[in-house]
């Protein structure tokens, strides 16, 4: 594990950019129709609870990576198996986000560029920054968070003055009942992107001030949820539910419609910039979690694993789906059937095992 320390503001910036990532431009919560913004807020609340679970495990083992304390709590063989499963899980997530970014860039700007070339350039850029260390990545996040907020402010102004927003499209609230919202929460909104912060368990041992860092983490989840919910609300009020459902990248579609007279047009490039920045940090954190996990498991220097892992992530991103529809379908299936094992089941098992472990340790000390 690296000996560098991350400041609370840097941790906050990493978490916000990670959660915004690809979630800003995809159909987040659209299964619940015009009430998508409610489903996102509910998902955020569940995400806060899950983040609390991850923080409990960190507080119990503040100087150990999950790949180490899993073996302490569950035994050498079971703990190693679960740790390897998480490494593969993180690499798969990184490859899916790499594919998301590549597909959007190709569909919006580099239409004639082959997908493998776009993905190669992105993953090599991530690998280069991670080679400098997680502290450099965290400092970079602080700068880019300011850039993202500035771009978001500009996009908001263009949309506001374009007169394309009709708040009536959000009414009636819960017009179809609570079941569509509940269905959306269970199938997507608590996992993506909020529960995905589980990869930050691999970063928490690098916190310079654990107490302030954890507080910053809660604030990051809260802010990200509010931004995503507000974005969904504005997108649906501008496009309507039907267009938003049919669009692969509704935010891009909405901003593409926005224009102020003949003076300000084609502001959709700002959305592409936001996605590239957010996707960069999302890939980075899953990538880092996989590499640091392998380094801890197999006692191989962190930097020696960076570029071989980059090749694996690149290959996954090319082979994972033949088109965007298949990519979305497989992603939705994984969110519902596979991801809860890693987001909920295993952390809860680890907490139960940690409780038993602490009880036995205290009993022995008392004896």
How high is the pLDDT of residue 67?
A: 94
Higher-confidence residue of 217 and 363: namely 217
pLDDT digits 0-9 by tens, 327-345: 777 777 777 788 899 999 9
Q: d(Cα 42, Cα 121) in Å, to the nearest integer? A: 36
The pLDDT, as a whole number, for residue 367 is: 47
Domain ranges of the chain: 8-349
DSSP 95-119: HHHHHHHHHHHHHHT-TTS-HHHHH
Q: Report which DSSP code applies to 267.
A: T
- Concatenate the DSSP letters of all residues of 230-246 into one string: HHHHHHHHHH-HHHHHH
pLDDT in tens, 113-141: 898 999 999 999 999 999 999 999 999 99
pTM of the predicted structure, to 2 decimals: 0.93
Q: What is the tens place of the pLDDT at every residue in 72-106?
A: 999 999 999 999 999 999 999 999 999 988 888 88
Give yes or no for residue 259 having a pLDDT over 70: no
Condensed to tens digits (0 to 9), the pLDDT of residues 182-224 reads 888 888 788 888 999 999 999 999 999 999 999 999 999 999 9
Strand ranges (E), 125-257? none
Distance CA 63, CA 22 (A): 31
**Average pLDDT of the chain, as a whole number:** 88
Q: Is there a cis peptide before residue 193, judged by omega within 30 degrees of 0?
A: yes
Return the CATH superfamily for domain 8-349: Amino acid/polyamine transporter I (1.20.1740.10)
The model's confidence at residue 265, banded by pLDDT at 50, 70 and 90, is low
Length of the chain in terms of residues written = 367
- Which residues share a beta bridge with 6? 207
Name the nearest CA neighbour of 82 among 71, 95, 92: 71
Sign of CA dihedral 129, 135, 137, 143: negative
């Amino acid at each position: 594990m690296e000996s560098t320390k991350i400041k609370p503001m840097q941790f906050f910036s990493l978490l916000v950019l990670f959660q915004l990532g690809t979630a800003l431009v995809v159909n987040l919560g659209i299964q619940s129709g015009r009430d998508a913004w409610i489903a996102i807020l509910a998902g955020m609340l569940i995400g806060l609870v899950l983040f609390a679970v991850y923080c409990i495990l960190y507080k119990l083992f503040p100087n150990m990576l999950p790949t180490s304390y899993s073996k302490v709590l569950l035994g050498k063989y079971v703990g190693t198996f679960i740790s390897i499963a998480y490494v593969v899980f993180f690499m798969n997530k990184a490859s899916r986000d790499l594919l998301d970014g590549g597909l959007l860039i190709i569909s919006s700007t580099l239409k004639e560029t082959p997908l493998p070339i776009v993905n190669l350039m992105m993953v090599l850029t991530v690998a280069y920054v991670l080679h400098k260390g997680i502290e450099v990545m965290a400092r970079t996040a602080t700068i880019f968070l300011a850039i993202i907020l500035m771009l978001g402010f500009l996009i908001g102004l263009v949309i506001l003055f374009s007169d394309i927003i009709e708040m009536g499209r959000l009414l009636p609230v819960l017009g179809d009942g609570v079941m569509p919202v509940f269905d959306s929460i269970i199938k997507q909104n608590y996992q993506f992107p909020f529960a995905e912060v589980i990869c930050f368990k691999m970063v928490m041992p690098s916190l310079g001030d654990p107490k302030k860092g954890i507080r910053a983490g809660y604030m990051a989840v809260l802010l990200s949820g509010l931004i995503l919910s507000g974005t969904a609300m504005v997108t649906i009020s501008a496009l309507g539910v039907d267009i938003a459902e049919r669009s692969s990248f509704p935010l891009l579609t909405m901003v593409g419609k926005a224009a102020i007279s003949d003076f300000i047009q084609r502001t959709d490039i700002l959305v592409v910039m936001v996605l590239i920045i957010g996707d960069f940090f999302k890939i980075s954190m899953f990538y880092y979690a996989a590499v640091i996990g392998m380094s801890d498991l197999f006692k191989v220097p962190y930097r020696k694993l960076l570029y071989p892992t980059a090749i694996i992530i690149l290959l996954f991103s090319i082979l994972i789906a033949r088109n965007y529809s298949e990519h979305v379908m497989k992603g939705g299936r994984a969110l519902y059937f596979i991801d809860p094992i890693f987001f909920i089941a295993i952390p809860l098992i680890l907490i139960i095992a940690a409780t038993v472990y602490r009880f036995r340790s205290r009993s022995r000390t008392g004896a």
